[in-house]
Amino acid sequence: MEKNETKLKIKVDNLDLYYGDFQALKEVDMDIEENKVTALIGPSGCGKSTFIRTLNRMNDLIDDVTITGNITYDGTDIYGGYDVIELRKKIGMVFQKPNPFPMSVYDNVAYGPKTHGIKNKAQLDEIVERSLRGAALWEEIKDRLHKPALGISGGQQQRLCIARVLAVEPDVVLMDEPTSALDPISTSRIEDLIDDLKKNYTIVIVTHNMQQAGRISDSTSFFFEGVVIETGPTEEIFFNPRNKKTEDYISGRFG
């Protein structure tokens, strides 16, 4: 069967992760394809959040973490071959609870570029507008750019966080349950946004909402107790999963 050449953005080989003595991830393999949405599902504590944080080395911040295995981004090892600051510019992250900084909307979006050395105001203005448009927030917020970011609604705050990430022009956007704290309408808007973003970015999203994974992802991986039980195209996973545990989980029989 003919398949289009899909590039692998991130390749994970045999990843093990220990918090002290506790093994949180066991022999995880995963291929994350370019310009696709990959969803990670699984019950609480299964390791999906831990996994996604490994991809942009946020686990470096925690003491007593041991990681073995191989993770490459665009073919280069993310530990040996990349400076962590550079890596995080390329692989951005949006968190579960919207976390805009206590500054104005403009300053929030401009924060990334500014820390990376861009000082020219015209340039920053352009980046801010572009990123806010990219996050489908510009029209709503262009008149209150210099008002505090904490004064806008939760859904808008999360889109602001997305704009913030887009401003550093990443390749990959990691999202750790980005809509679990939002109302259904905000959730829909962000799902539409993700659908749009995947044209230009590679998206990995952790979600505990099965329907969301079904709605927006191209590929889904089911995590259970630190192990990837099944990976596959989303239609297959949701219509005819191969593994009984996967079937039980997505049918809501546990978890």
Partner 1 sequence: MPTRHHFQEELQEVHNEILKMGTMVEEALDSALKAFSEKQVVLAQRVIAEDGNIDEMQLLIEDRCTLIMATQQPVATDLRSLITAIKIASSLERIADHAVHLSKTTSRLEGKTQMDPLRKLIVPMAEEGISMVKGVLTALADHDTDKAREVAAMDNGLDRTHSRLFETLVNFQKEHPEHALQTTDLLFLIRFLERLGDHVTHICEWIILRETGRYTELNK
Partner 2 sequence: MIISAHTKKTKRQEQIAKGFIWFFVIFTIIILAWIVLYVLFRGFYFRNEVNYDVNDMKEQQIILNEDVEPVVFIVHPGVRLDDLTMQELRTIYTKARKEKWGPYTQQDLRVETFVLPPGTAFTDTVNGFIEGPEEINKFATTAADPQSMIGKVSSTRGAIGYIPASAAEDIGKKVKIASIRRISAVVHPSVKEIVNNVQMQELTPEQLEDIFRGEIENWREVGGIDLPVRPILPPKSLPYSVIHEKILPDGFIPEEVRQTDTLEEFCEAIKTTPGAVGLCFYNNIIETGEGLHIEEIRRVESGMNLTIHYLIEAPARSGAWGGISTIIINTFFLILFTLLFSTPIGVLGAIYLVEYARQGRLVKILRLGTETLAGIPSIVFGLFGSIFFVNMLGLGIGFISATLTVTMMILPTIIRTTEEALKAVPISFREGSLALGATKLQTIARVVIPAASPGILTGIILAVGRTVGETAVLIYTLGSNYELVRGPSSSARVLSLHLYNMFAEAISFDRTFATGAILIFIVLLVNYSTTKMIGRMNRMAGK
Binding segment (CB under 8 A) for partner 2, from list 22-30, 160-168, 213-221, 225-233: 160-168
Q: Report which of 200, 189, 238 is spatially closest to residue 218, judged by C-alpha positions.
A: 238
Instruction: Find the shortest distance in angstroms from Cβ 216 to partner 1.
Output: 15
The whole-angstrom separation of Cα 121 and Cα 202 is: 29
Q: What is the size of the binding site for partner 2 (CB under 8 A)?
A: 32
22 sits near partner 1 (criterion: CB under 8 A): no
Among 61, 122, 143, 239, binds partner 1 (CB under 8 A): 239
Site map (CB under 8 A) of partner 2, residues 56-85, x = contact: x-x--x-x---------------------x
Q: What is the DSSP letter of 183?
A: -
The whole-angstrom separation of Cα 160 and Cα 141 is: 10
Q: Give the chain's length.
A: 255
Burial (0-12, 13-18, 19+ Cβ within 10 Å), 110: buried
Q: Report which of 173, 175, 191 is spatially closest to residue 183, judged by C-alpha positions.
A: 191
Binding to partner 2 in span 3-42, by CB under 8 A: none
254 binds, among partner 1, partner 2, none (CB under 5 to 8 A by kind): partner 1
Among 23, 35, 70, 99, binds partner 2 (CB under 8 A): 99
222 binds, among partner 1, partner 2, none (CB under 5 to 8 A by kind): none
